[in-house]
Structure 1
Amino acid sequence: MTCLQVDAQINKDSLRHNIRLASTDSLRIQALYAYMKATLNDNTSDFEPYLREMVRLSKKTVSKWGLSTAYILSLSYYKNIGNYETALRYGDSAAALLSRDTASGLLLNRGHLYNNRGNLYYSIGDFRKALDDYFQAERIFKQQRFKTIASVYSSIANCFTELSNDQKATEFSDRAVEAAMQFDDPRLLATCLMNKATMLMNIDRYAAADSILSIVWPVVQQLRNTKSLFVYYLNKGDVTAYYQKDSLKALTYYKQSYAYASENHDVSQIAKALVSLAQLKTDMKQADAVTYIDSLYRLADENGMSSLKADALGLYAQWNAQRGDYKKAYAYEREQKALSDSLNSEESRQKISMLEVRFRIENKEQEIAKLKTQDTINRLSIRQKSTLNSILIGGSIGLVIILALLYRNYRNRQKLQLQRITELETEKQLTATEAVLKGEEQERTRLAKDLHDGLGGMLSGMKHAFQAMKEHLIMTPENQLAFERSMDMLDCSIKEMRRVAHNMMPESLVKFGLDTALRDFCNGIQQSGALHLVYQSIGMEQAPAGQTTAVAVYRIVQELIHNVLKHAAASNALVQLSYAEGALSVTVEDNGRGMDIVQRLHAGGMGWQNIQNRVDFLKGTLDIQSQPGRGLSVFIEIPAENQ
């Protein structure tokens, strides 16, 4: 491991240590943000627990900055790993949270949201939506005089390049450079200049790109920043190879770019440099070209970079064809084509999936139809290319490819059918659970009413009759004492009957709603002296919770508090009910003995099973945090559509 790798690892360990040392929820949110900001581009699966923890703590402390920042980080993370649908959901959550807030920190967060969501749309090729978000980000960053505006202008220029609007691409590249010059940041200026050079090469203006590189070289040389040097030498190699037609000199530049990428330990940079080196050496028919192709293939395979793997396969085919080994060349070409077709199909599937999510949010039917039409065109184009290639190769090979495609489609249909069956089974289970829970509550309500109206009325009538008899009877002192004791016992029976009836279906829950019922319940526990129980409610005056949801949440809290009283040996507990961004959240915490969560859940107790069934019925999420001796924290979130 090099010194740079060691330093990076030490920094990450230090940031994780800061999270553990945080003494308050607010400090822990800041520590989580610092760690995730430093490791966002690592794209590792252990990033997700930190995101969930930041969301949980931000909701608990009602930190709008923390929650919106966590949503924006989630958008970037899921975009980086290709899960565009989840990324879009987090983007929409952040947009709803920040929609009408003008505080400076939150306004900058809104700018970061638009910028990152624009990057998401750019990644899937929806350049017009990307432009909409980039222009929103530009307006905010310009107002706040925030230097990220230069990067936003570069992104806008890239979109116009993809849309073949060279004039606008050039205009916004110039704006990016002008914006960067307003800040004392040489690296930002160098980045914007080199982005402009890349844009000019994309529209075949190599002479202008070469001039830009000549201007930026003194800045890059003075910075001695390895990432900036990597970009410079890569662009310089492109200009030298494809404009000046000096392949040997271009190789020198590409090798320098590759060396700086390796020093940065940046997989994406290494891959770009290897593609340029391998392609140029193959075009020059140099014998060692295959060494660079091998390195590119291994890098792509180890890091799951499928598009680069397809590039490597294409280079293998070209190299073997140059050597006269047409059999191997043909095999590599077939493998490349299969991988490219798979990538195109997956990209189209992700685009459709993402647009369907947007449709459910915004009802944009025309956009879905347009994208599905484009997907159909793409599929037809792929099929047409397959047919042409099959004709060139021969009828027998074409038959094999067609059979393979049919088999693949058959397998895909089977997978879709199995998925649909699983969804139906889940829906059936939820329906059954709903019926059981509703039946249980109806029976509780009936019994409570019978006890209160029937037995309660009878007992009250008996008490009234005994009191009337007492007025007309002459009793000895002993009989008088026995009569009074009987009357006290009758009073206790009436109170106990009313307590049982109230437990089965609290009157306050029916008349005044969930918030009042839970407050009464917690106050009753507090007044009994069995536990110091604090109840808090946030935003519940806006909550639209229906009777079914209210009863289910009440039973969940009731079960959790009874567990605390029976098992936790706790002295203090907290019940918090909050409603924000259309979601109902329930938090129950205690300072008791805690528990081993895995062991307790595997034990299969009825209490936890009932809680889980009610959460599943509400299509909510259940998060339990506890360790033996450290208390218990239960967090439940119920989405708006299930309230």
Structure 2
Amino acid sequence: MVSFYRLSAWVLVLLGVAGLAHAQPKSQILPPARDTRAVDSLRRVLAQHPRDTNGTKALVTLMFNFQYNDTAQAGSYGRQAARLATALGDRKRLARVSYNLAILAAQGGHNEESVRLHLLSGREFAALGNSLWVGHNYANAAKRRIGQGRFAEAMRLSLRGLRLRQAAHDTPSVADSYGTIGQIYLEQQNLPAAQTAYEQSLRGWQLARVPPYVVHCLNHLAIIHRDAGHFARARAYVAEGLAVVRAQPDTTANDGLLLTLAVLEQYQGHWAASLPLLRRVEAAYNRRPAGTLTPGARADLYSILGESLVQTGQAAAAAPYLTQALALARAARDRQEEADALEGLADLAAARADYRAAFAYRRDMGLVRDTLRLAATTRTVAELQTQYETERKDAQNRVQAAQLRTQQQVIRRRSVQLWAGLAIAALAAGVGYLLLSRRHLRREVEFAAEREALQQRRATAVLEAEEAERRRIGADLHDGVGQLLSVVKLNVHALGEELAPRLSPDEQRRFGDALGLVDESVGEVRDISHNLLPNALIKRGLARAVREFLDKVQQPGRLRIHLETLGLDDTRLASNTESTLYRVVQEAVQNIVKHARASEINLQLIRHAHELTLLVEDDGAGFDPAALGEGAGLGLRNMASRVAYLGGVLDVDSRPGRGTTVTATVPLPG
């Protein structure tokens, strides 16, 4: 009985702390089977000891036995154990049974109840001095918050759990915490941070020698590099994962890797190459026992498979997959998968020239995505409110503590001054003068540091808010106005085909002009949204984004632009560094185009070991920087403030008739 209890507890930790897969299935650690003889023995013990500690122990172990094959019975035993442990004051059993009830609540989709029970279990384990299990509870509560989209709270809980697990030197659980942190960053599309966290998690699982979680991390690293446009590295991670699977056969892990590889082929436009991989995953899904695969996972596969069939000209074969994907997503209330299925059906209808149906699917897809954006906004507001309340309470506590410390310091200082005055009055006066002078000087230094920090935070907040607003407006233009204009274009085109036989040549010409204007509007909206939210900057980095921007600005025969980049083609900088430098380049080049009357621009981006240098030089009219008034030079001030936000320095060298050279030097982390 004891060996089964310990084995069950270890399996519960692994299953409870397992990270959620990012839209793909992952391998599972198999739970222990029910021990029938042990169950009979435990029931006899419970009948003999219904109201003492032995009865509590029997109830907890019975719960373990039924945890994976009869959750209703397990929950019944667990609730009985919790009531008896509470009545007896048995904190050890209450802590353990609360943890297991939390896992059961999560399996039933009751995330809020699961978080409540994990925090209760954590408090009990803290009272027992077991910090490792406190960390396990924080880690699992964080996963439930991820499932609710409450990422700020999930991160706070994850970091608490990570610190406790690190203090206990428990390698598997530390690896799990880094995996959870990576998932939070991945959900928020912070790919560099997600990559760093999953690399930490991978090293931990490799040290612990747990192949299923090694494959899980390799798969997520492949997804991150795929989404970042690093296709070769993504393939390498998939290949490494497949090698681990071959050494330790695990079909579910193999399915996830194959699905990642299939989507990678789609990203590169290899639609035909993705089909055999997707067929293998489909066959594997069909072999799984009923109930082991969620409707959302099947909807995801069918949407991806249907899209590949549409793109390879197999519309008839794609239709049932996309239709089934939509039905499964709606049954599971998975709005993201529903939007993906509607988009695939819209593409299918367009391929069949059924523009009326394409319009209807696009309209429904827009409504679903609007609902998702509204839900995300609501969650963000709730998180900000919670964060505000927490920070307000912390600030009040800090103020009260500071007041208490100040009072204590005043009392001690007055006592010292009194005794010193009684001893030697002159010496006391001199010491008092020195103390007051030192205090005054220290206050001046502190005030100066606070002013400088406040100015830096203000500049940082303004630039971050500006960048966030650019991204929001770009996304709204692309997903809102852009989608609506695309639908209008499809509708006008379909209407033109219906009316063509009845229109005169002049009417057909005017109709064609109208359609051309709509098409031009679609392109304009796309260009504006890409300028606000450059796709190349997000996926391929600063050098590629700047190159694409300069290609659009260059005017053959009138304005030549030369770009030189060193040390940036195969690496990425921090996202805030890339976006800030991209805006500086935009501002500098647009100033030249508007005001300099230049015929040539030379631009250099050079990465050194610990800093990056940006140089923009033109042969235009030039100007006197010292002669600019307070109302002029707004663009230069914007560039200087952006560079200062990164801790860098901006230098402008210009004279009338001799062109302008702008140099920015930005430090990079070592």
Q: Given the two structures, how large is their TM-score scaled by the length of structure 2?
A: 0.47
Give the number of the structure whose alpha-carbon radius of gyration is greater. Answer: 1
Give the TM-score of the pair, scaled to structure 1.
Answer: 0.49
